[in-house]
Amino acid sequence: MRVLTGVAAIAFSWATVNAAWGYQPLVNYQLRCMGCHLADGSGQPGRVPSIRRTLVLFSATPLGRDYVARVPGVAQSPLSDEDTAALLNWMARNLSDLKVPPGFADYSEAEIHSLRDRPLVRVSAIRARLLKAAAAKPRTP
């Protein structure tokens, strides 16, 4: 009986450690995103887009936020809505070449929940439209 109690204690401690680490955005990025977007978010040219110059840019507009929450890697992620929002917010602050502007609206659990149940089909076409719209937008000093 004492051995079973010891095994249960070890299993519980591992479950606690795994749960704690599983909710860290850095670890979630390493486990869920880094394989394709690479450690620095630069992606794979011609295959997986970089998020370094686009995540913050897209996150500044409603259409861009809709896109970010609905790309297949986000929409189909097994992460909870809360963990997905935390991961996107971490990525914007840690992997972007663009600084998060004052008044940046963090992604929320509710926002992710309301969008991700409709994954995008024409990802490349929508991304191209967003990039074109961003390039045409006048820059403020």
With a CB cutoff of 8 Å and minimum separation 6, the contacts of 116 are: 69, 70, 74, 75, 77, 81, 84
Nearest one of 99, 49, 44 to 74, comparing CA atoms? 49
- Contact criterion met (CB below 8 Å) for 114 and 107: no
Nearest one of 114, 140, 123 to 62, comparing CA atoms? 114
Residue-by-residue pLDDT tens, the chain, 141 positions: 454 454 444 444 444 444 544 569 999 999 999 999 999 999 999 999 999 999 999 999 999 999 999 999 999 999 999 999 999 999 999 999 999 999 999 999 999 999 999 999 999 999 999 999 999 987 655
Output Rg (C-alpha) for the chain, integer angstroms.
Answer: 18
* CA–CA distance, 116 with 65 (Å, rounded to integer): 11
**Angle, CA of 25, 27 and 30, to the nearest 5°:** 110
